[in-house]
Structure 1
Amino acid sequence: MGASSPMAKGWCTLEKQKRILAIDDERINLRVIGGLLRNLGHEPILTESFTEARGLLDASIDLVLLDVMMPETDGFTVARRIREMPGVSDVPIIMVTALTSKQDRLKAVEAGANDFISKPIDLTELRVRMGSLLKMKESQDEVKRYQAELEEMVAVRTSALKMALENVKESQRTILSAHLETIHRLAAAAEFKDEETADHIQRMSRYCALLAFRLGLPDAEVDLILQASPMHDIGKIGIPDSILLKPAKLTPEEWEVMKKHTIFGARILGESNFELLRVGEIIAMAHHEKWDGSGYPKGLAGEDIPLYGRICAVADVFDALTSKRPYKEAFSNEKSLAIMRAGRGSHFDPRILDTFFADFERVEEIQKEFLV
């Protein structure tokens, strides 16, 4: 073994103390290695077996000095096992060996060793060989610290972003809820003026949503129709009570005024950036159009009538037929369906009407749920 030197002591005072794990089955060798490491200003961690070393090897260890020739488990096997250990697999390993053949050194490299040092150990050689590896370990640790700090920063910012997004979503939900409540109250005002109840709005909007779902529309559109269809008659606010509440048949002149509730509704809801109101505008304008073109206000026919209007037409007529109005008593479901069946292909889109009939059990469930 080499003796200590003033140069070695001077060198170590410039370096931060490192923790070096030495594994050797001979105690005399460990004492010598421990003395050399302390002379270089490092903290030696000494053990005679890999079994014990497993408990000592953690992220605080900066380098491993590993004897090759050990009876229990040779150094090659120990090196391979260290390379498989989570968290410490990249720790630098220097093999301490009396073996000098090229084959032995290649075997050590394959096992995971970074460098070799021959017995007897020379202090200067030990300092030099350890120096470059310890600097490499410092760089690795610095990268790990940076990555950990970066991950922590990303986690904190991600958490803050998620919280901000949740706050935005909650604000949007609150705003949407307020919009919907305002819209439904406005729609209810129109319905109450017509001596109807909020139950009509609930039934009719759910009939519309059921039809939209059965027709295969996306969930987002189904929800839009559910929320927008209550606005279909919002334009009745602009119709005089003398016409709206008249218990007898309207005159042709009065009927022309009544038909304008579709236009009034579209004007009330029109020119909005809010998608829900835009859908409401379409429904308000189109729900009295008829498949054969005899409806109002535009006399549209077939698929020129917006789909939302065609859906609403079926739902609205069924609920109107089965509800009491100032000018009529409520019809039975059977009579109402017979009237609607007669309008297949003239008043109603055949496909939508057939869909309504096909799921009439669910229609009746909705009807009973919101029975006046």
Structure 2
Amino acid sequence: MSSLLPKQSILVVDDVPENIDLLSETLVDDYRVRVTTSGEKALQIVYSDEPPDLILLDIMMPGLSGLEICRRLKANPDRRRIPIIFVTAMSTAADEERGLAIGAVDYITKPISPPIVKARVRTHLALYDQARELERMVHQRTAELLTTRQQIIRRLGRAAEFKDNETGNHVLRMSHYVRLIAEAYGLGQEATDIIANTAPMHDIGKIGIPDAILLKPGPLDTEEWRVMRQHPLMGAKIIGKHENELLETARVIALNHHEKWNGSGYPRGLKGTDIPLEGRIVAIADVFDALVSVRPYKPAFPLDEALRILKHEDGRHFDPQLLQAFHKALPDILRIRDIYADENGALTDLEFRLQEIYDHREIPEGHLGGLTHPKLDN
């Protein structure tokens, strides 16, 4: 059975039509050959949505020279891996050394030998295919490791949350609140993802707080507050310092989510922008969820009362600009609150597709991206 794989694409760049014709005739039976006599047009082709798999490039051309084209492509992270073979009449050892030094993978002198061209092209395409497959495997493995780290962070966050919240939904709500606030604030996608994925670890230090204090159904006395205020430090110690950005962000959040904008927070009394941005974002999400949720020491506050308290703490507890972002994201935050409400049961093991929320599309009541939950449908 013949292969149905598409032919690989070769771009031939030469200002002499006869040279283009000879190279095309040499390669056309085995490859999809594209040609141009212009360096500027060659760059357009390479930067298009269908870049070539290999480039045969003349050096001496009017306008952009082959050397300049090669320099530009090797400086572009999205295209630098495409193999470039110089095909040129410049045949001295110094010429060849210069061409290879700027990033070409091979150097063929004119007049060309068709069998040599075919062999060199075949070899470098095979190497390029191997490099791309290796890169794909590394990317896949890196993604798997990232997913594993994210799952561990979420599970540890749930472990801490189950100490004083039987459903563990607080960490889920927190993660989505944080994402929505960060997006409304204008944070980049990568930074937003990191904060949202590490926010569930914010209270991991509660593992070290005695249940008699954590679950006390009333105000804490002075000594109990002293113990409770140790949980950010405990959390930072549990996570530890890491070079990995995901785990280091989790540590920063655990340590700083109880700091206050005016410097009256704990454990270090940081003030203003001395508080890491991640901690300032999580502080708003954490306090809002605490206000509108039932806790051992309090009932859930009505939404208008919770918003009044947040407004009162504008510039005191909270970064004013981040609080503006919170209000901008509030409609979607309220949807998350309803979806992951504790009375709906523990939803942590259900994979809800929430992209509709982030795309600001309406979701029918009780329906989450095609998946339903019986307690939400009743």
**1:43-66: CA deviation from partner (whole Å, max 9, x where unpaired):** xxxxxxxxxxxxxxxxxxxxxxxx
Larger mean Cα displacement after TM superposition, 192-201 or 225-234: 192-201
What root-mean-square deviation, in Å, do the aligned CA atoms of Structure 1 and Structure 2 show? Answer: 2.3
**1:297-356: CA deviation from partner (whole Å, max 9, x where unpaired):** 011111111111111110100011111111111112211111111111111111111221
CA distance in 1, matches of 2:207, 2:20: 77
3-state SS of paired residue (1:193): coil
3-state SS of paired residue (1:249): coil
CA distance in 1, matches of 2:323, 2:165: 27
Change (3 A) 1:306 1:143: same
2:235 to 258, 265, 277: 265
Question: Do 2:157 and 2:201's aligned partners in 1 also have CA atoms closer than 8 Å?
Answer: yes
Question: Do 1:235 and 1:268's aligned partners in 2 also have CA atoms closer than 8 Å?
Answer: yes
Query: Does residue 1:205 correspond to 2:175, yes or no?
Result: yes
TM-score by length of 2: 0.61
**Structure richer in helix, relative to its length:** 1
Residue matched to 1:33 = none
3-state SS of paired residue (2:162): helix
Change (3 A) 1:88 1:251: closer
2:276 to 279, 293, 306: 306
Change (3 A) 1:342 1:85: closer
CA distance in 2, matches of 1:168, 1:266: 31
Tell me the matched-pair count: 244
Residue matched to 1:192 = 162
Which residue type is aligned with residue 342 of structure 1? H
Per-residue deviation, 1:196: 4.5
Residue matched to 1:242 = 212
Which residue type is aligned with residue 255 of structure 1? W
CA distance in 1, matches of 2:327, 2:110: 72
Query: Does residue 1:182 correspond to 2:121, yes or no?
Result: no
CA distance in 2, matches of 1:200, 1:171: 31
CA distance in 1, matches of 2:20, 2:284: 70
Q: Which runs of 5+ in 1 are unaligned?
A: 1-81, 92-138
CA distance in 2, matches of 1:257, 1:196: 22
Question: Do 2:182 and 2:325's aligned partners in 1 also have CA atoms closer than 8 Å?
Answer: no
CA distance in 2, matches of 1:303, 1:161: 44
CA distance in 2, matches of 1:88, 1:278: 54
Question: Do 1:287 and 1:312's aligned partners in 2 also have CA atoms closer than 8 Å?
Answer: yes
Residue matched to 1:362 = 332
Residue matched to 1:17 = none
Residue matched to 1:297 = 267
Residue matched to 1:327 = 297
CA distance in 2, matches of 1:335, 1:169: 48
2:132 to 142, 156, 162: 162
Per-residue deviation, 1:85: 9.3
Q: Which runs of 5+ in 2 are unaligned?
A: 1-16, 27-108, 343-378
CA distance in 2, matches of 1:261, 1:89: 70
CA distance in 2, matches of 1:152, 1:293: 66
Query: Does residue 1:172 correspond to 2:155, yes or no?
Result: no
Which residue type is aligned with residue 263 of structure 1? L
Residue matched to 2:221 = 251
Question: Do 1:83 and 1:89's aligned partners in 2 also have CA atoms closer than 8 Å?
Answer: no
Question: Do 1:83 and 1:90's aligned partners in 2 also have CA atoms closer than 8 Å?
Answer: no
Q: Kindly report which structure 2 residues correspond to 1:36-115, keeping only aligned pairs within 5 A, or say none.
A: 86-87=21-22
Which residue type is aligned with residue 146 of structure 2? L
Per-residue deviation, 1:83: 5.6
CA distance in 2, matches of 1:84, 1:266: 66
